[in-house]
Amino acid sequence: MDGTLLPNPAQALSPRTARALRAAQQAGICVAIATGRRTAYTTPLLEGLGLRADTPLITSNGAVIRTLGGDAIDRCQMASRVARGLCGLLRPFGALVFTFDRPGRGELVLEDLEQAQGRISLWIEANRHAAEVVKPLEDALIDGEDPIQGMVAGGVSRMRQAEEALRASEWVGLCECIKTEYLGRDLSILDLLPPGVSKGLALERLAARLGVGRRETVAIGDNWNDVEMLKWAGQGVMMGNAALELRTMAKMRGWRQAPPSKEDGVATVLEVIVAKSAAVKV
């Protein structure tokens, strides 16, 4: 969503992008939305666009797959004991939040609202209704009520230190750590996921479920948490607003580059795909 379909988190999808998504579905193409956002933070942006109720949503960076209409497809969870261990390790580095797959208040749990507002104030304001403060955070991580995802956020250099600390810790093999960086805002987010979970693996599982081959799959992304997805797809597409390091990686791997999100890069890609699909059918 952010940086790919949306130029920034505060904006809605452009009319052109919404038309392109609908046109792709009408052409018989399965459109799946893959995002680091949780489901409840994703669906309001897609409702009212005319997309099919069975549109798959890969949310929480691959931990949950549901349809736009709310039907469950797949879910992975992190063991609470691992989450508690990550609290002790990562608390000194930044604002720590855990996400649970349950509706309403308590879907997001954190222990320091002011610290979180310092870096991710827009996200906190948009999700305040779902957030619950628990001190210490470990008290919310009860065995048998496992979270689907953790997140620690802060400045880019500090989060890189946190990533190094995790690699050197006993927890490194018990969770996945996937980063998202916004260099212009000096903001980095480390998503803490169950072992083996990523957008890439979720896309692979979803494609198998739908009977769609790898060579028939196009993946579009803009950040580090999209890399595994772009690697798996038959054709990866990197957004023009991605960081230079990611755009360089895209060139080395033979991925296409789309225009930036503010120039409707996704729509540009989909319009070409739909036109080619129509030409083949003729």
Give per-residue pLDDT as tens, 187-239.
Answer: 899 999 999 999 999 999 999 999 999 999 999 999 999 999 999 999 999 99
DSSP state of 30: P
Residue 281 has pLDDT above 70, yes or no: no
Give the per-residue pLDDT at 10: 66
CA-angle at 163, arms to 253 and 93, nearest 5°: 145
> How far is Cα 201 from Cα 225, in angstroms, rounded to an integer?
12
Q: What's residue 63's pLDDT?
A: 95
Q: What is the mean pLDDT of residues 109-133?
A: 80
SS3 77: coil
| Per CATH, domain 15-75+197-281 is 3.40.50.1950 | no
pLDDT value for 280: 73
Angle of helix 15-26 relative to helix 265-281, nearest 10 degrees, comes to: 30
> What CA–CA distance (Å, rounded) separates 261 from 5?
6
Domain boundaries, the chain: 15-75+197-281, 80-193
The set of residues, in sequence order, having a beta carbon less than 8 Å from that of 166 and lying 6+ positions away, is 86, 89, 90, 172, 177, 190
Task: Give me the CATH code for the 80-193 domain, please.
Answer: 3.30.1240.10
Mark 83-113 as b/e (b = at least 16 C-beta within 10 Å). Answer: bbbbbebbbebbbbbbbbbeeeeebbbbbbe
pLDDT confidence of residue 122: 77
Interval 238-268: pLDDT, tens: 999 999 999 999 999 999 999 999 999 999 9
pLDDT of residue 208: 96
> What pLDDT was estimated at residue 95?
86
- 66 vs 72: CA distance, rounded Å: 5
pLDDT digits (tens, 9 = 90+) for 58-97: 999 999 999 999 999 999 999 999 999 999 999 999 889 9
- Give the model's pLDDT for residue 112: 79
Residues 123-173: pLDDT tens digits?
Answer: 778 888 899 999 999 999 999 999 999 999 989 999 999 999 999 999 999
Amino acid 113: pLDDT: 75
Q: How far apart are CA 190 and CA 152, in angstroms?
A: 5
Predicted local distance difference test score (pLDDT) of residue 115: 67
Q: Which of 87, 82, 84, 63 is nearest to 74 (CA)?
A: 63
Burial-class residue 262 by CB neighbours within 10 Å (0-12, 13-18, 19+). Answer: middle
pLDDT at residue 119 greater than cutoff 70: no
Distant-in-sequence, close-in-space partners of 77: CB < 8 Å, separation ≥ 6: 63, 101, 146, 147, 148, 194
Compute the distance between CA of residue 254 and CA of residue 194 in angstroms, rounded to an integer.
Answer: 30
pTM: 0.90
Two tokens at 97? 């939040």
